[in-house]
């Protein structure tokens, strides 16, 4: 074949090889089609592992009674036993190693999430005893009178009853 025919063919081959070569450089080796097929499973496989290594912050209430047995006994028979410790005490991360201590959220905001009364009879909310946060001692923190681990009205702090 004549040279003027072959030359552009070489150019084309060089372009194709160039594209394929750059592609192998840019696209990670584990990028491909996986379990869910072309439509839903075309991805970089190692990203699944990356998502699995996200740090777990909320460790649930399972391990709390091991050290805080007194607190566990105080709350276990109260209606608040259904609330995870971490909802008020914050995520435990790797407590007691890191952090050494947990902060306690004593703000009214936390209590009124459920105990701001809403007359919604068709939802569970209507059955929760509640107050109007705008008129019920708005200047005070709830824990000044109420014991969060044992919240029934008769269990108010003694100084409140007197």
Q: Which residues of the chain form contacts with other proteins (CB under 8 A)?
A: 4-5, 8-9, 12, 16, 31, 34-44, 47-48, 51-58, 60, 82-84, 86-87, 91, 109, 112-114, 116, 118-126, 128, 133
- Would you say 10 or 154 has its CB closer to other proteins? 10
User: Could you tell me the smallest distance in angstroms from the CB atom of residue 162 to other proteins?
Assistant: 30
Residues in CB range of 147: below 8 A, 6 or more apart = 155, 156, 157
- Would you say 97 or 121 has its CB closer to other proteins? 121
User: Could you tell me the smallest distance in angstroms from the CB atom of residue 1 to other proteins?
Assistant: 12
C-alpha to C-alpha distance for 76 and 82, rounded to whole angstroms: 9
Q: How many angstroms separate the Cα of 112 from the Cα of each of 58, 131, 148? A: 22, 8, 12
User: Could you tell me the smallest distance in angstroms from the CB atom of residue 106 to other proteins?
Assistant: 16
Q: Coil, strand, or helix at residue 89?
A: helix
- Would you say 118 or 160 has its CB closer to other proteins? 118
User: Could you tell me the smallest distance in angstroms from the CB atom of residue 116 to other proteins?
Assistant: 4
- Would you say 7 or 157 has its CB closer to other proteins? 7
Q: Which long-range contacts (CB under 8 A, 24 or more apart) does 51-56 make?
A: 55/93
Structure tokens at 32: 């491909």
| Sign of the torsion angle spanned by Cα atoms 55, 57, 60, 64 | positive
Burial class (CB in 10 A: 0-12, 13-18, 19+), 111: buried
- Would you say 66 or 134 has its CB closer to other proteins? 134
User: Could you tell me the smallest distance in angstroms from the CB atom of residue 155 to other proteins?
Assistant: 19
């Amino acid at each position: 074949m004549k040279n003027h025919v072959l030359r552009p063919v070489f150019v084309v081959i060089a372009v194709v090889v160039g594209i394929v070569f750059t592609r192998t450089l840019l696209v990670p080796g584990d990028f491909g089609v996986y379990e869910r097929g072309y439509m839903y499973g075309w991805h970089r496989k190692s990203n699944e592992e990356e998502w699995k290594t996200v740090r777990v912050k909320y460790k649930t209430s399972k391990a709390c009674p091991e050290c805080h047995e007194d607190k566990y006994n105080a709350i276990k028979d109260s209606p608040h036993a259904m609330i995870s410790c971490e909802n008020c005490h914050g995520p435990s991360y790797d407590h007691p190693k890191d952090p050494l201590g947990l902060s306690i959220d004593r703000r009214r905001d936390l209590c009124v999430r459920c105990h701001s009364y809403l007359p919604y009879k068709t939802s569970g909310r209507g059955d929760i005893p509640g107050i109007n946060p705008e008129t019920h001692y708005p200047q005070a923190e709830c824990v000044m009178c109420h014991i969060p681990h044992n919240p029934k009205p008769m269990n108010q702090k003694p100084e409140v009853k007197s």
